Structure 1
Amino acid sequence: MSNRKIKYFTTGEFAKLCKVNKQTLIYYDQIGLLSPAMKDEKDYRYYSIAQYDFFSVIELLKAVGMSLKEIQTYMANKSPHHFLQLMQQQKEVVEKKRQELRMIESMIDVKIRSTEEALHLDFDSITIQHLPEEVLYLSKNIEDSSEEQFVEAVSDFIDELYRSQLDTGHPIGAITKRDQILAGNYDNYSFLYMEQPFPREGHSYFKTIEGEVIIGYHVGTVSTIEQTYERLFAFMEEQHYRLGQYVYEEYVYDAFIKNDEEEYVTKIMLEVEKES
């Protein structure tokens, strides 16, 4: 053992080299995944520098999502051919994760941009804006649904956005038809939606109509939203507009930004047409 310092590392030294705790190495030894290069008469473990690359591959495979059991299965049948095949498979996994991270980064950018814009909004204002055509991804029809059906529809829509990678980071909004709005049924939504700035082939989308939109903001819960609609209707009449086919609602501030529901902010967009 006189040359131990040249060729071998103690468990503590090797753990420090690998940036893990000693218990990780001991556990790997116990399950037969990475055993020390040698043990002395006192059963002390010693590792060689060559085992560092072996450990690095284990950590690499763990980092891309392989379980220790899956790594053990590979180790039981390892060969240059199997290793090459494994690395190619994991490269595909990494590329998929990279795509997911790009999507997450894009979603974060949208959240940052929309929140920065909200900081400069006057929530008491009502404006008329000319909006371009926008592409939306819709849920199934939820008009006249019960509370239980509505909750289920929201859950299904979120699942679909995730499965189809259609979550763009924009808020989930709700579309209400003109007839329901005029009847005062402001929460009888027809569809949920999410804006799709970059539509992908293979999906069915809904396109909004390019044109004039009256935009206002409701601060508070849905129980008082009628008051905001009354303000919007009064403004619409003053400006000699009539209500178009759809009304769109989406949160500006919700539970992620405000603790008190009374401080939630809903953006309301009314499609309108100029009275002749």
Structure 2
Amino acid sequence: MLNKNVKFFTTGEFAKICKVNKQTLIYYDQIGLLSPAIKDGKGYRYYSLAQYDFFSVIELLKAVGMSLKDIQQYMAEKSPENFLELMQQQKEIVAQKRRELEIIEGIIDVKMKTTEEALHLHFDDITIEYFPEATLYLSKNIENSTEEQFVKAVADFIEELDRSQLDTGYPIGGITTREQVLAGNYDNYSYLYIEQPHPREGHPYFKAIEGQVIIGYHIGPSKMLGETYSRLFKVMHEQGYQLGQYVYEEYIYDAVMKDREEEYVTKIMMEVQKIQ
């Protein structure tokens, strides 16, 4: 018999308070996670207001990724001491998730910024600009790799960026040496790279030397890169420069923003030195 001094709620009423459907409460009862305070002889279920806090803790633990099985295990051994330990564990998980979300937010900000900048570029222009020193994170050396080795190197590099939380949102590019470019081997990259505007300690980085860089844009598939390089060399020689040590390539528009490879845009940055 119901205690008239205590307010009880039917399954529907309690489900409304908890903002879930009735089936969720019935399922929790079936697995022994949260049973009604009272079940009368007619099979009606009644919940007390005190059980709302119980329900809210279950939802809290679910929200941070804890499985119903693990929640059941805690409930079977619950105590104030175990609860404090559990809350401390979940607090650490939340802190880690917050750090991960901050990284994701930073990546989104960079991708928005670089895309907005790209919208104002004139892809027919070739310019010579001063570049400040930049910090890059590099892959292992991939020069003279086969197509199969190159594909694996890309996959390994992306996995490494994810594992070490070094994905900054900037495009992954390729570094080619002066010797390979002069030989016409434009896609024989020595390293993959990604810019690190805020490098963290404990990782090996490459410093792209500050200085003059000639910048141009290649529109279309990579097999046609030679035509754009020829244009760059022409301007470079006309302006009295010679090729420096490294050339950097990275996509401005790729499959994320364009359907056809003919519309892809590759940014080419060639280190140059004034001929004395």
TM-score for the superposition, normalised by structure 2: 0.97
Name the residue aligned to 1:106.
106
Give the distance between the partners of 1:224 and 1:168, measured in 2 at CA.
Answer: 29
Please list, as runs of the form range in 1=range in 2, the aligned pairs for 1:1-276 lying within 5 A after superposition: 7-276=7-276
Q: Within 2, Cα distance between the matches of 1:250 and 1:118?
A: 12
CA deviations 1:196-246 (Å, max 9, x no partner) are 001111000000011000000111110211111111111111111111111
Distance 2:56 2:94 in 1: 16
Separation of aligned partners in 2, 1:45 and 1:139: 61
Q: CA deviation at 1:2?
A: 7.0
- Aligned partner of residue 47 in structure 2, secondary structure: strand
Instruction: Give per-residue Cα distances to partners, 1:234-273, cap 9 Å, x unaligned.
Output: 1111111111111001111111111111111111000011
CA offsets per residue over residues 127-152 of structure 1, 9 Å max, x none?
A: 01100000000001111111111111
- Stretches of structure 1 that go unaligned for 5 or more consecutive residues are none
Between the aligned partners of 2:46 and 2:160, the Cα distance in structure 1 is 52
TM-score after normalising by structure 1: 0.97
1:203 and 1:58 map into 2 onto residues whose CA distance is 40
Distance 1:42 1:138 in 2: 70
SS at match of 2:27: helix
Distance in 2, matches of 1:176 and 1:4, equals 81
CA distance in 1, matches of 2:242, 2:27: 72
User: Quick one: percent identity of the two aligned structures?
Assistant: 73
- What secondary structure, in the 3-state scheme, does the structure 1 residue paired with 2:13 have? helix
Q: Secondary structure at the match of 1:136?
A: strand
Q: Measure the CA separation in 2 of the matches of 1:260 and 1:20.
A: 46
Deviations for 1:7-65, whole angstroms, at most 9, x for unmatched residues? Answer: 11121221111111222111111111111111122212221111111010011111111
What is the identity, as a one-letter code, of the residue corresponding to 1:193?
Answer: Y
SS, match of residue 272 in structure 1:
strand
SS of residue in 2 equivalent to 1:156: helix
What secondary structure, in the 3-state scheme, does the structure 2 residue paired with 1:189 have? coil
